[in-house]
Amino acid sequence: MLKTYTYPKYEYQQPQEQKERSAARYPVVIVGAGPVGMAAAIDCRLQGIPVVLLDEDDTVSIGSRGVCYAKRALEILDRLGVGDRVVEKGVSWNVGRTFFREEEVFNFNLLPEPDHKRPGMINLQQYYLEQYLVERCVELGVDMRWKNRVVSVQRMSDGVRLTIETPDGTYGIEADWLIAADGARSPIRKQMNLEVDGKVFMDRFLIADVVMKADFPAERWFWFDPPFHPNQSVLLHRQADSVWRIDFQLGWDADPEEEKKPANVIPRIKAMLGDEREFELEWVSVYTFQCRRMQEFRHGRVLFVGDAAHQVSPFGARGANSGIQDTDNLVWKLKLVLDGKAPERLLDTYSTERVAAADENLMNSTRSTDFITPKSNTSRMFRNAVLTLAEHHSFARALVNSGRLSVPAFLADSTLNTADADEFSGAMVPGAPMDDAPVGVDGKKAWLLDQTGNRFQLLYFTDVAERLGGKLDELRGLSMDPVPVEPVIVSEKAGAAAGVRVLHDLQHLVARRYDAREGSVYLLRPDQHVVARWRKFDAHKIRAAVARATCN
Amino acid sequence: MPLTLTLTPNFSEPGKRYFRAFSPGDDFYEMLIEAHRDLSDEQSAMLNAKLILLLANHIGDLSVLREALGHARDGV
């Protein structure tokens, strides 16, 4: 099996500390080189933090695993410098077809809103994403240690002490902060005797990666109760290299070992394709899932991210996507704390903000699961009634839930926000993940999101950039603060202002999407979320909002 | 009250802000399934019957109800 991809093998090297039997302490150690741990490591390097990344294995994800990467994750990957590779290799799809028994009940076209850099979602095997992230980690000087397995974690008041096993025996290192990205079964979480609460769904699913030789449209097909697999659901999705993901619901009583055998898998796929189309199996797995999360994602000097902190059903692709968003939220805060520019309790807001996001993801993925796999006769009756009505009525189509596209949480209730005092309309409220829009930079077409991130910024909307006078000094003054704020002018006219970047709002879409007028200002967090906004520039209010956003 | 049956998405809660179009419908569907939790099939059928009567009285307009009954009967 596995013919379209050759797994890289990353070289183990004996760690310096182990060779020399010396002690070492690092500001940040990350455990787990999956997509989430590597996103954290890259983000740390972009913030100038030295970082050690430990992984017990020496290659990438075996099998395609997480295949759907949603718009917000792609925007973060852009910030981390791997967005283009992921999107170029990935497959974009827009058409989804929903079948109920023999009939196609409806289809939808996800045609994304125009004038955003990234689409709603792309499909790509997890091993490609991991490979690109490894290469980016190496490029940025992450200290990557393969075949390094953490065997014990000792908590100290100002850090943690780790015992690590390698092919050469054990050694110890210390860290000021530990990021646990060690997956759903998180050995670190277990070591620390921490609970993770939720429920196991009593169902099993078979996933197969299939190389299809004949053409098949790049569409997402979802079957409820199809004749070739009665009473269960089936999903077909396209990935890169003509590899297709097929997902069969099996029910709780299925025997995972039996179901994985090609002799049992191949007839299922043949029945689904319904013809003599040629295909080859690349990878097969049977999975169950849980919907659960830890009470808190911060435990002293240990910060839990991704599946280690929260697990959702796969419907809606909220696993890797939300884990990458965890690191997006965490690393800028960690940098401010490490630099002594914010108190440690800023990291408690990593927990509160991402717990709220995890609850939203858990809610949406649980709802999808309940729709796809009804747990009672009544629930099944309602589900089938919705599907029957969906053929003719749009209200019912809106209720069909075969997985809601992963979208970022609005952190509208975060204590880091400064509440609106002025009137604004639209969705860009304090706590909103930023909307993208095209802009001109030095006469070239660019994207708003590519001009933001990694630091606090102030968008100042004005069409008289040349005549700002004393205000320009005030704007530039913000960038001299202990927590600097970079001023950025957004103008409907191409213009220039000494010492301040000017973005040309070519199609007036920035102003429209942010409901901005002459003089409006938006304060942005380093993770591209709105944190405050006003109709008039007031340096005093901006500084107060920055202090609030950093727990100062 | 509209004079004809509404067949386009129509769920919302006064005073609540929705950032995603799918949220109000999903909120309703969860409430509906939750209301049936731990009931036997017979109990669920009774709940459904009572619910239909309550909603029918709220709608009141017999022409709207006639239309809804027609759509519900269709294909059953």
Inform me whether the pLDDT recorded for A399 exceeds 60: yes
Rounded Cα distance, A178 and A153, in Å: 10
Residues of A in contact with B48 (CB under 8 A): 378
Question: Which of A370, A395, A402 to mutate to test binding with chain B, by most B CBs within 10 Å of its CB?
Answer: A395
| B11 assigned to some structural domain | no
Nearest chain B residue to A390 by CA distance is B7
Position A389 pLDDT exceeds 80 = yes
Of the candidate CATH numbers 3.40.630.10, 3.10.129.10, 2.60.120.200, 3.40.30.10, the domain formed by A438-549 belongs to 3.40.30.10
**For chain A, what is the mean pLDDT?**
94
**Cβ distance A307 to A183 under 8 Å?**
yes
Q: Where are the beta strands (DSSP E) in A256-398?
A: 279-293, 298-299, 302-304, 310-311
Is B61 domain-assigned? yes
State the CATH class of domain A16-92+122-196+293-367: alpha beta
Q: Assign A321 to helix, strand or coil.
A: helix
Position B30 in a domain: yes
CB A310 within 8 A of CB A274: no
Q: What distance in Å separates residue A440's CA from the closest CA in chain B? A: 28
Cβ contact, residue pair A382, B10, below 8 Å: no
Is B56 within a domain? yes
Q: What pLDDT shows up at residue A120?
A: 87
- Distance, in Å, from the CA atom of A3 to the CA atom of A281, rounded to the nearest integer, reads 9
Q: How confident is the model at residue B2 (pLDDT cuts 50, 70, 90)?
A: low
Q: Taking Cα atoms as reference points, which of A330, A434, A535 lies closest to residue A116?
A: A434
pLDDT at A406 (0 to 100): 87
Query: CB–CB of A121/A138 below 8 Å?
Result: no
Tens digits of per-residue pLDDT, A283-331? Answer: 999 998 889 999 999 999 999 999 999 998 888 888 999 999 999 999 9
Q: What is the pLDDT of residue A1?
A: 52
Residues A318 and A364: beta-carbon distance below 8 Å:
yes
Q: Residue B69 has what pLDDT? A: 97
Taking only the tens place, the pLDDT of each residue in A206-243 is 999 999 876 778 888 999 999 999 999 999 999 999 89
Chain-chain contact of A379 with B8 (C-beta, under 8 angstroms): no
User: Residue B39 falls within a domain, yes or no?
Assistant: yes
Closest CB from B21, B26, B41 relative to A378: B41
Q: Tell me what pLDDT residue A107 has.
A: 87
Decide if pLDDT at A418 tops 60.
yes
Contact criterion met (CB < 8 Å) for B8 and A394: yes
In chain A, the percentage of residues whose pLDDT exceeds 70 is 99
- The reply to whether B42 touches chain A by the CB within 8 Å rule is no
Task: Calculate how close chain B gets to A275, using CA atoms only, in Å.
Answer: 30
Task: Note whether ipTM > 0.90 here.
Answer: yes
CA atoms within 13 A on the CB side of A191: 19
CB contact under 8 A, B10 and A395: yes
Task: Domain ranges for chain A, please list them.
Answer: 16-92+122-196+293-367, 374-398, 438-549
β-bridge partners, A380: none
CA distance linking residue A263 with residue A160, whole number of Å: 49
CB contact under 8 A, A364 and B26: yes
Give the residue numbers spanning the domain of B60: 23-73
Q: Measure the CA–CA gap between A134 and A129, rounded to whole angstroms.
A: 9
pLDDT in tens, A86-131: 999 999 888 889 999 999 998 888 777 899 999 888 999 999 999 9
Query: How many angstroms separate the CA atoms of A353 and A347, rounded?
Result: 10
The answer to whether residues A75 and A83 touch, using CB atoms and an 8 Å cutoff, is yes
Specify if B53 maps to a domain.
yes
What the block records as the tokens of B55 is 């909603």
Collapsed DSSP state (helix, strand, coil) of residue A449: helix
Q: Are residues A395 and B20, on separate chains, in Cβ contact within 8 Å?
A: no
Q: How many domains would you assign to chain B?
A: 1
Q: How far is CA A484 from CA A254, A344, A450, A546, in A?
A: 58, 19, 19, 9
> Residue A199 has what pLDDT?
82
More confident residue, A405 or A254: A254
Contacts of A401 in chain B (CB under 8 A): 22, 26, 29
SS3 state at A408: coil
